[in-house]
Chain A
Amino acid sequence: QVTLKESGPGILQPSQTLSLTCSFSGFLLSASSVGVGWIRQPSGKGLEWLATIGWKDVKHYNPSLKSRLTISKDTSNNQVFLKITSVDTADTGTYYCAHSDPGYNYFDYWGQGVMVTVSS
Chain B
Amino acid sequence: DTVLTQSPALTVSPGERVTISCRASESVSTLMHWYQQKPGQQPTLLIYLASNLESGVPARFSGSGSGTDFTLTIDPVEADDTATYYCQQSWNDPWTFGGGTKLELK
Chain A residues packing against B (C-beta within 8 Å): 39, 46-49, 60, 62-64, 96, 101, 104-113
Contact, CB under 8 Å: B98 / A104: no
Bound Cα distance A112, B90 (Å): 22
28 residue pairs of the A-B complex, CB under 8 angstroms, read A46-B86, A46-B98, A46-B99, A47-B43, A47-B86, A47-B88, A48-B97, A49-B94, A49-B95, A49-B96, A49-B97, A62-B95, A63-B93, A64-B1, A64-B94, A96-B42, A96-B43, A106-B33, A106-B45, A106-B49, A106-B90, A107-B33, A108-B48, A108-B54, A109-B45, A110-B42, A111-B42, A112-B42
Tell me the interface secondary structure of chain A in the complex. Answer: loop
- 12 other A-B residue contacts (CB within 8 Å) besides A64-B94, A104-B48, A111-B42: A39-B97, A47-B86, A48-B97, A49-B95, A62-B94, A64-B1, A96-B43, A104-B90, A106-B48, A106-B88, A108-B48, A109-B45
